[in-house]
Amino acid sequence: MAGSRGEFSSRLGFVMAASGSAVGLGNIWGFPTQAASNGGAAFLLVYLLLAFLLAYPALMAELILGRHAHSNAVAALRQVSTHRLARGIGAFTGVAGLTVAALILSFYAIVAGWMIAFCLSAVAALFGLPPVADWLMSFGLPRNILLVTVFMVLTISIVASGVQAGIERWSQRLMPALLLTLFILAVYVLTLDGAMDGLRVYLMPDFSRALSPELILDALGSAFFSLSLGVGTMLIYGSYLSDRENLPLLGGIVTLVDVSIAVLAGFLILPAMYVALHNGVEIFAASGALISEDTLIFTVLPELFATMGLAGTIVSLTFFFLMSIAALTSSISMLEVPVAYVTEQFDRKRRPTAWIAGAVITGISCLILLNFDTLFGLVITVTTRYSQPLLGFMFCVYAGWIWHRNTLLQELKKGYPQAQHSLFWKVWPWYVKFICPLIILAVFAHSF
Ligand code: PHE
């Protein structure tokens, strides 16, 4: 089977695709706003520690399992053991993972559709079409359905083209575009009045907020979401890696890129919030707390851009373009999970499979949109808060307890001959066996 499946053509291709998956709305919006209300630099420190101490080892479990099996999560987890029950539970975990990946995509596409709408609205404003611009900014059902569909068509087209011609090629184009846009925007915003106040909040640590157990547990959940863990995304990307690659190194690079972009995004979002405050836009509620994240992005930022005249329209266009790209490189990795499973397991062609799976997910998105008040929050909570950590727990258990240690070492040695004597091998097996599952269980218990 391995011969006919896709493979990343280069190390860079993998790094771009995997960090493209990891870097998404979670990093560029979620992390900075959390840091803003939770102790600035102190939160940053907690986040860095969690990313490297918890998320990285869990990421490694998925990458190694995937590369070893060179197949989708269902087959990969099944082949870890010869025991019937363990094989059955493994297959079930894989199927649950792809279902959750599809559900995450169904709400992610809605949010991404809003990003595209705001980006296009700025374009319409530049072309002197205020009615179109206003329609795109309004929260109407037709607009939402149209833009979810646009976003899903983009996602499906890339996935349908395959690993090298689709995922790898587009990640290599979009990730540099994302970095450049982020950088330019941050530099521009930092020159505006009020930006320095934001920078101060970001860089001054307030440990009283950041060290509360409540917050640490919450940050754990975000670290999982941010590195795309628990749903088989990283497993499937790992399965497209060649045996020559050094897995601990590649996983480390992906974690580093993910975290760095979150940190960089902080240099844009926090200053932007305080520029808004300086321009008379409300960013704090009466209680003194920052107003909620979604209100902040869809009302506060546009208000800020509106105070900036023509420059504001251009900044708005660039900002929402950035968010749309970040969402797209993540959404392709979500769709790849069910598509890889169906093509491999049922011997189907990739292109029609991608279109059918994508259409089903678009249908679910529309269903959510039609019952927005009940379903939107529910799907987010069920998938990211409960399912992702629980499935991540299963991946760690399979890598740490069910898989034979020797086979695991042989897998690592393929691209890293000195693996046995490395620090990684001294720490990681023990870590993924005890620490990761325990921490994940703590997070899970806490969410109840
Ligand atoms: N990591 C992505 C983000 O930060 C979200 C994601 C979750 C992607 C699960 C794939 C799988 O936005």
CA distances from 238 to 44, 101, 251, 337, 415 (A): 28, 16, 9, 12, 13
**Which pLDDT belongs to residue 72?**
96
Please indicate whether residue 297, judged by its CB atom, sits closer than 6 Å to ligand 1. Answer: no
Q: Which of 227, 228, 385, 390 to mutate to test the pocket of ligand 1 (most atoms within 8 A of CB)?
A: 228
Q: Indicate whether residue 225 lines ligand 1 (CB < 6 A).
A: yes
Q: What are the tens digits of pLDDT across the range 298-338?
A: 888 888 888 888 999 999 999 999 999 999 999 999 999 99
Task: Report which ligand 1 atom has the smallest distance to the Cα of 327.
Answer: 12
- The pTM of the full predicted model, rounded to 2 decimals, is 0.94
The alpha carbon of 155 and the centre of ligand 1 are apart by a number of angstroms equal to 14
If one counts every other C-beta atom within 10 angstroms of the C-beta of residue 286, the result is 7
Question: Token pair for residue 127?
Answer: 């072309």
* Contact between 48 and 282 (Cβ < 8 Å): no
CA distance 340 to 350: 8
Q: State both tokens at 72.
A: 């989708």
Cα 117 → chain centroid: 20
Long-range contacts: 298-302, Cβ < 8 Å, 24+? 298/114, 298/118, 300/273, 300/276, 301/272, 301/276, 302/118, 302/137
pLDDT less than 50: residues of the chain: 1-3
Does any ligand 1 atom lie closer than 6 A to the CB of residue 26? yes
The C-alpha atoms of residue 300 and residue 298 are separated, in whole angstroms, by 6
Which protein residue has the closest C-alpha to ligand 1 atom 11? 228
Secondary element (H or E) of residue 141 = helix 141-160
As separate numbers, helices (DSSP H) first and strands (DSSP E) second, the chain gives 24, 0
Rounded distance between C-alpha atoms, residue 40 and residue 66, angstroms: 36
Tell me, in angstroms, the distance from the centre of ligand 1 to residue 410's CA: 30
Q: Which atom of ligand 1 is nearest to the CA of 22?
A: 1
Which pLDDT does position 4 carry in this prediction?
Answer: 65
- Which amino acid appears at position 87 of this protein? R
| Torsion angles phi and psi, residue 281, rounded to 5 | -85, 135
250 CB near ligand 1 (under 6 Å): no
Q: How far is the CA of 224 from the centre of ligand 1 (A)?
A: 8
How many angstroms does the Cα of residue 137 sit away from the middle of ligand 1? 25
CA of 299 to the centre of ligand 1 (A): 24
- Tell me the pLDDT tens digit for each residue of 72-129: 999 999 999 999 999 999 999 999 999 999 999 999 999 999 999 999 999 999 999 9
Atom of ligand 1 nearest to the CA of 388: 9
| Contact between residue 195 and residue 271 where contact means Cβ atoms under 8 Å apart | yes
Q: Pick the atom of ligand 1 nearest to 333's CA.
A: 10
Q: Which domains does the chain carry?
A: 8-115+158-352+384-446 (1.10.4160)
Closest ligand 1 atom number to CA of residue 23: 4
* Cβ-proximal residues to 350 (8 Å cutoff; 6+ apart), any chain: 159, 160, 162, 339, 343
3-state secondary structure 279-306: CCCCCECCCCCECCHHHHHHHHHHHHHH
Detail the DSSP E strand segments found in 286-406. Answer: none
Regarding the beta carbon of 226 and ligand 1, being less than 6 Å apart is answered yes
Ligand 1 centroid – CA 172 distance (Å): 18
Cβ atoms of 341 and 77 closer than 8 Å: no
**Which structure tokens are listed for 178?**
């994302």
Q: Which residue has the tokens 């509360």?
A: 212
Distance, CA of 57 to CA of 60 (rounded, Å): 5
Q: Is the minimum distance from the CB of 255 to ligand 1 under 6 angstroms?
A: no
Find out whether the beta carbon of 339 lies less than 6 Å from any atom of ligand 1: no
What is the C-alpha separation between 212 and 206, in angstroms, rounded? 11
CA of 330 to the centre of ligand 1 (A): 6
334 in contact with ligand 1, CB cutoff 6 A: yes
The tokens for 92 are 């079930």
State phi, psi for 248 to the nearest 5 degrees: -60, -35
Structure tokens at 379: 């799907």
| Contact indicator for 159, 125 with CB cutoff of 8 Å | no
The Cβ of residue 309 has, within 10 Å, a number of other Cβ atoms equal to 9
Protein residue closest via CA to atom 10 of ligand 1: 228
333 ligand 1 Cβ < 6 A: yes
The pLDDT value recorded for residue 348 is 96
Instruction: Report which protein residue has its CA nearest ligand 1's atom 6.
Output: 228
Tell me how far apart the alpha carbons of residues 108 and 78 are, in angstroms, rounded to a whole number.
29
Handedness of CA 436, 256, 73, 241 (dihedral sign): negative
Q: Quick check: CB of 22 below 6 Å from ligand 1?
A: yes
59-85 pLDDT tens trace:
999 999 999 999 999 999 999 999 999
Structure tokens at 405: 């240690």
Ligand 1 neighbour 38 (Cβ under 6 A): no
Q: What is the pLDDT of residue 3?
A: 41
Helix axes 141-160, 350-370, angle to 10 degrees: 160
Which pLDDT score is estimated for 389?
84
374 CB neighbour count, 10 Å cutoff: 9
C-alpha 281 to ligand 1 mean position (Å): 31
Report the separation in Å between the CA atom of 125 and the middle of ligand 1, taken as the mean of its atom positions.
31
Q: Which helix (H) or strand (E) holds 162?
A: none
